[in-house]
Amino acid sequence: MITAIPSLLLLAGLSQCLPTSCQSQQCLSTAASILGSIDTRTDPCQDFYQFSCGAWSKIHEIPDNQLEIGAFEALSRGNSESLRKMLENGYNDLKLQNASNGVPGNQVHTDEKIFNKAKNYYESCHNEPLIESRGSTPLHPLLETLGNIFEENREDVRAAVTKGIAYLIQFGTTPLFTFAAHSEMSHPETYGVYVLQSGLTLATKERYNDSSVLEAYEKAASETWHKISGNVQLPGVNSENDMYHAVERAVDFEKQLSLISNSSQELSNPVTIYNPVTVTKLNEMAPMIDWDLLISLLRQNEHPIDSLVVTSPSYIQQMSTLIAETDIMTIQYHFMNTLILSVVGALSSDLSTPLKNMTLHVSGGKVLPSRQELCIQNTNMVLGQIVGRFYVLTKFSQAAKDSMDIMVNSLRKSLEQSIMQLEFFDDVTRTVALDKLHKIVQKIGYGTSSPDVMSPASLDAYYQSVTAMPELFFENYISYRQWSARKTWKLHGQKVDKQVWQLHPYQVNAYYNPLANEIVFPAGILQPPFYNVLNSENLNFGGIGAVIGHELTHGFDTSGRLFDGDGKIRSWWTKETERKYLERAQCFIDQYSNFTINGPGNTSLHLKGDFESGEILADNGGLQISYNAWQNSLKDSKRTGIKYQNLETIGGYTAEQLFFIGFGQVWCSKVRPEYTAMRMINDPHPPPQWRVNGAIQNSIEFAKAFNCPTGTSMNPEKKCRVW
Three-state DSSP at 132 gives helix
* Alpha-carbon span 330 to 119, nearest angstrom: 42
Question: Average of pLDDT values for 685-708?
Answer: 98
Question: Average of pLDDT values for 201-228?
Answer: 96
State yes or no: pLDDT of 266 exceeds 60: yes
pLDDT tens digit sequence for 372-426: 999 999 999 999 999 999 999 999 988 889 999 999 999 999 999 999 999 999 9
Q: In which band, very low, low, confident or very high, does the pLDDT at 647 lie, cut at 50, 70 and 90? A: low
- Neighbour tally for 416: CB within 10 Å: 15
Question: Average of pLDDT values for 334-346?
Answer: 98
* pLDDT confidence of residue 49: 98
Strand 307-310 relative to strand 511-513, pairing: unpaired
Of 176 and 24, the structure prediction assigns the larger pLDDT to 176
* Alpha-carbon span 548 to 565, nearest angstrom: 18
CATH of range 140-345; options 3.50.30.20, 1.10.1380.10, 1.10.490.10, 1.20.1560.10: 1.10.1380.10
- Helical segments of 344-467, H only: 349-362, 371-382, 384-395, 398-421, 427-439, 456-462
pLDDT tens digit sequence for 6-23: 333 343 444 455 555 667
Q: In which band, very low, low, confident or very high, does the pLDDT at 635 lie, cut at 50, 70 and 90? A: confident
- Look at the alpha carbons of 704, 707, 713, 717 in this order and tell me if their dihedral is positive or negative: positive
Are 87 and 378 a contacting pair, CB within 8 Å? no
* pLDDT confidence of residue 302: 87
Nearest to 454 by CA among 386, 511, 503, 520: 386
Whether 39-87+396-447+501-723 shares its CATH topology with 140-345 is answered no
- With pLDDT > 90 as the criterion, what percentage of the chain qualifies? 88
HSE, side-chain direction, 13 A CA sphere, residue 273: 19
Amino acid at 327: D
* Alpha-carbon span 562 to 558, nearest angstrom: 7
Backbone angles phi, psi at 542, to 5 degrees: -70, -30
Distances (CA, A) of 134 to 139, 351, 378, 563: 10, 11, 19, 51
* pLDDT confidence of residue 650: 83
Give the long-range contacts of residues 702-707, CB within 8 A, separation 24 or more: 702/48, 702/660, 703/45, 704/656, 705/654, 705/656, 705/657, 705/659, 705/660, 706/44, 706/45, 706/48, 706/657, 706/660, 707/45
Distances (CA, A) of 364 to 64, 672, 674: 10, 6, 5
State yes or no: pLDDT of 211 exceeds 90: yes
Which of the 8 DSSP states describes residue 299?
Answer: -
pLDDT tens digit sequence for 503-530: 999 999 999 999 999 999 999 999 988 9
- Helical segments of 635-713, H only: 655-665, 673-682, 688-697, 700-705
- Neighbour tally for 558: CB within 10 Å: 24
DSSP 309-361: EES-HHHHHHHHHHHHTS-HHHHHHHHHHHHHHHHGGGS-HHHHHHHHHHHHH
Domain boundaries, the chain: 39-87+396-447+501-723, 140-345
DSSP 206-221: GGGG-HHHHHHHHHHH
* Alpha-carbon span 31 to 387, nearest angstrom: 32
State yes or no: pLDDT of 709 exceeds 60: yes
DSSP 464-519: TTS---TT-HHHHHHHHHHHHHHHHHHHTTSBP-TT--SS-TT-S--EEETTTTEE
State yes or no: pLDDT of 648 exceeds 80: no
Which strand (E) or helix (H) includes residue 442? strand 441-445
State yes or no: pLDDT of 639 exceeds 80: no
Angle (CA) 311-186-551 rounded to 5° is: 80
Are 73 and 66 a contacting pair, CB within 8 Å? yes
* Alpha-carbon span 55 to 138, nearest angstrom: 50
Strand 441-445 relative to strand 518-522, pairing: parallel
Are 583 and 454 a contacting pair, CB within 8 Å? no
CATH architecture, range 39-87+396-447+501-723:
3-Layer(aba) Sandwich (3.40)
* Residue partners of 252: CB distance under 8 A and separation at least 6: 330
State yes or no: pLDDT of 1 exceeds 60: no
* Alpha-carbon span 683 to 677, nearest angstrom: 10
Q: In which band, very low, low, confident or very high, does the pLDDT at 25 lie, cut at 50, 70 and 90? A: confident
* pLDDT confidence of residue 29: 83
Q: In which band, very low, low, confident or very high, does the pLDDT at 94 lie, cut at 50, 70 and 90? A: confident
- Helical segments of 135-197, H only: 140-152, 157-169
